[in-house]
Amino acid sequence: MKATKLKSGNYHVLVYCGKDSAGKEIRKSFTGPDKAKVLADAAAWKNDHRVISGSSTSFSDAMDSFFRIRQTSLSPSTMRGYRAIETVLRQDHPAFCNSNCYNISAEDLQRLIDAWIRSGSSPKTAKNRIGFITAVLGQKGIRCPVVRLPQVPVPDLNVPDSDIVRQTLQAAKDYSLEMWICVMLAATGPLRRGEISALTMDDIDFDNNVVHVHHSMVFGTDCKWHVKVPKTKTSDRYIVMPAAVIDAIKQQGYVTHWDPCSMYRRFGRMLKRNGIEAYRFHDLRHFCVSELLGAGVEDIFITERTGHSSLGTMERYKHILSNRRAEVNKRIMADFNSFS
C-alpha cells in the first residue's frame, strides 16, 4: 500500500476490496494527517476484511439488512431512534444511501456532519447519527472511518432546592396518593419516570423497605409502551426507600398506572395549579443526587443508587455543589462579619 500526500497536507491510502457486479473495482479510502496511522488503519482494515468479488452492497441495502437482523435484539426506544435516523438519511441524503458501503470514506461522513450542523442539528444529534451509521457498517463487518465529531456541550443541570421539593411534595399529597408516591420515588430513589412506571408490587420488599428496579417502560416504533430490561447492569439495582413510601404503596395496592408521558403531563399541571415554578419531573432525580453529595455520601454508593454507569457523571453534580458552596460561604462570612 502507498500513502499519497494531498494538497491539504493529509495522507491518502486506497485499499483494493474487489469488484462489483458490473466489474468495477471497489476501493476503500483512508485519509488523515498522520501517515503512519493512515497506513496502519488501512492495513488493519485489509486484514479484517475479505476481498469482494462480483457483489456490491449499498448503504440503503445495509440498513435493511441491519433492521432485519437486529429487530429483536434492540430495545424499542433504540429502534425508534434508529428508524428516525434512517428516515433522515433516506429523505435528505439519497446519494449517500445509494453509495457502496465499502467506498464510504471519512470525507463522506464529514460532509454529512457539516450538512447536519449547518441545517441546525445539535452536536448530539450528529453524534447519534454517526453512531447509527457505525452500527450499520459494523453489521457488514466494515470498520467505520474515523471522523471529527462536533463537541457535545454539557447541559446545565436544573436542580430544584429543598424548599421547592417540599412544596412539590405537599402539592402531590393534595393531588393524589399516586402522585405523592411517584414524586417520592424520584426525589429519594432516585428513579427515572420509565422505571417508576414499570414497577409492580412484586418489585417491592415490604418487610425491608426495598424496591427492586430492573425494568423500564419505553415508547416503541409501534407507538405503544413496552416494559424492557435495562441496557446496563448498573441500572438493575435494589434501593432502600423511606418506610412512608413503602407503606403508601401497600395502602394504594399498586405503584402507578401512569405511563411516563402521562406522569410528566400530570406533574406539570400540578406544579402550575399550585403556583410552583415549572421544572421537569426528571429534575427530582438531580435533586436527590445533589442532596446525597451534599451529605457527604461517597460517589460509589450514589451510583449504586442512581444506576449511573460511570463515576464520571458525578462531576456534573459536583459543579453544582461548588456553586452552592460559594453561596453558603458568602452567608457564613456575612454572619461572621457581623461580630467584627
The answer to whether residues 238 and 306 touch, using CB atoms and an 8 Å cutoff, is: no
- One pLDDT digit (tens) per residue for the chain, 340 residues: 788 888 888 889 888 776 665 667 777 888 989 988 888 888 877 766 655 544 568 999 999 999 999 888 888 888 989 999 999 999 999 999 999 888 888 889 999 999 999 999 999 999 999 999 999 998 888 888 888 888 877 666 788 888 999 999 999 999 999 999 999 999 998 999 999 999 999 999 999 999 999 999 998 878 889 999 877 788 899 999 999 999 999 999 999 999 999 999 999 999 999 999 999 999 999 888 888 887 778 888 888 888 876 666 666 666 666 655 665 566 666 766 656 4
Q: Label residue 263 exposed, middle or buried (CB < 10 Å: 0-12, 13-18, 19+).
A: buried
E-only strand ranges, the chain: 4-5, 11-19, 25-32, 52-53, 204-205, 210-213, 216-219, 225-228, 237-240
End-to-end CA distance of the chain: 79
The answer to whether residues 245 and 184 touch, using CB atoms and an 8 Å cutoff, is: yes
> What percent of the residues of the chain are helix, what percent strand, and what percent coil, each to the nearest 5?
55, 10, 30
- How far CA 23 is from CA of 26, 46, 54, 73, 332, in Å, comes to 9, 20, 7, 36, 79
Q: Which domains does the chain have, with CATH numbers?
A: 4-139 (1.10.150), 162-327 (1.10.443.10)
